[in-house]
Amino acid sequence: MRPLRLQSAMEYLMTYSWALLVIALVLVVLFSLGLFNPSSVVTSQCILPAGLSCVSVFVASNGLASINLLQATTTPINITAYGCNANNTVAHMSIPLNPPTNQIKMQIGANLTFSVQCWAGASTFSANPGSTFSGYLTVNYTETTSGFPHTIIGQLISKVT
């Protein structure tokens, strides 16, 4: 009777050993494919307050961001400055080079694609492709009808290309 119990115990251990080996092999394959790397699932997003929205955003490895902005306010606007920074500051704002006023006029529903240098504190942002940039996009504009200035700050998250 005793040999049958040992045989049963051995069969039990062998069956579960094979199952554990298969599970370990699947985990190794999933890890090697990069499925456990959070940067592989980051999608580019730019979240702005009502009135302006980002259609697309790309950040290059040298920190130059290409942003497509959609104007959805109730009146035409003039963009007077914009900036991209890793911390929530208005430092390093860029004034659009559009002589003679150095402003960009946007009608309601218009799209604008512009490039802006992103900063990481006091130095320009640079990273390897595949890493993630997380920061803020600041846009200064004035309403053309009332002349009131506005500053909006939105969150910018993008995988570096």
40 versus 149: which is more confidently predicted?
149
Segment 83-106 mean pLDDT: 81
130-141 pLDDT tens trace:
888 888 999 999
* Residues 17 and 96 both lie in one domain: no
What value does the mean pLDDT of the chain take? 85
The mean per-residue pLDDT over the stretch 113-122 comes to: 88
- For the residues 76-85, what does the mean pLDDT come to? 91
76 and 24 part of one domain: no
Same domain, 25 and 92: no
3-state secondary structure of 139: strand
Task: State whether 84 and 20 are in the same domain.
Answer: no
State whether 28 and 82 are in the same domain.
Answer: no
Say what the pLDDT of residue 97 is: 75
pLDDT at 99: 72
Which domain range does residue 133 map to?
42-159
Q: Is the peptide bond before 49 cis (omega within 30 degrees of 0)?
A: no
The model's pTM is 0.71
Q: Does one domain contain both 132 and 58?
A: yes
Please tell me whether residues 53 and 119 are part of one structural domain.
Answer: yes
Cα 35 to Cα 38, 73, 75, 94, 133, distances in angstroms: 8, 40, 46, 38, 20
Inform me whether the pLDDT recorded for 156 exceeds 60.
Answer: yes
120-126-132-138 Cα dihedral, nearest 10 degrees: 40
H or E stretch at 9: helix 2-32
For residues 90-100, give the mean pLDDT.
76
Q: Return the percent helix, strand and coil in the chain, to nearest 5.
A: 20, 40, 35
92 with 144, same domain: the answer is: yes
Based on the fold, state whether residues 62 and 136 are members of the same structural domain. yes
**Same domain, yes or no: 123 and 104:** yes
Q: Look at the chain and report how many structural domains it folds into.
A: 2
Please determine, for residue 76, whether its predicted confidence score (pLDDT) is greater than 90: yes
